Amino acid sequence: MKTKLLLIGLAFFISASAYSYNWNEIADSIASQQRYITEKEFHSKIETYKRIRKTQRIMEHYDSTFTVGDTIIIMEYHNPSKDATHSALWIKGKPQSFMTYNRHFDIHKDYFLCYFSLYLRKLCEEWNLAQIRKEELENPPQKPSYIISTRIILRPNSEYIMESIFFQHFYSYPRDRF
């Protein structure tokens, strides 16, 4: 009986991890969707983030990490008046997978080392679009800056579901200082 359960468990594990996701294809799809939901003035920044997403370091880090059922969260900052480049990428529920970009990549075990506030990341991870829109209206920034957040749900057979939201970066002191 133990052997049978072990074999069933092993078969499930192998089938769950047998799919391979083409990160280059996913990065292209993200950029395409982001161009669709934003105005033309943001398209050059979208291409910058696409190049960042396609770097070898990201592919090496996540290629062996992604599994069926994972939800990948990506947040990218856009400020028309600055050439700032801030992004974060992680697998929902796996803070050890947290990666940030601000002129160079960092892979963090500490999920607190990020440009985006914990509250904002929580809303994006929960995909709470209604609350994001509410915060955007109630706590707008002094100078316009924007975020594109993308959620990718990995499905069997190397398929995935992807959604993106473009919104004004919001901030409420003291809540968002961390």
pLDDT in tens, 13-59: 444 444 577 888 888 999 999 999 988 888 888 888 888 787 766 76
Strand 146-154 to 87-91 pairing: unpaired
- The kind and range of the H/E element at 160 are strand 160-168
Q: Is residue 2 pLDDT above 70, yes or no?
A: no
Query: Does residue 78 lie in a domain region?
Result: yes
Q: Is residue 161 pLDDT above 70, yes or no?
A: yes
The answer to whether residues 130 and 97 touch, using CB atoms and an 8 Å cutoff, is: no
Structural domains counted in the chain: 1
CA dist 147 and 36 (Å) reads 15
More confident residue, 103 or 49: 49
Residue 58 structural domain: 29-177
Query: Does residue 22 lie in a domain region?
Result: no
Query: Does residue 97 lie in a domain region?
Result: yes
Q: Is residue 177 pLDDT above 60, yes or no?
A: yes
More confident residue, 14 or 121: 121
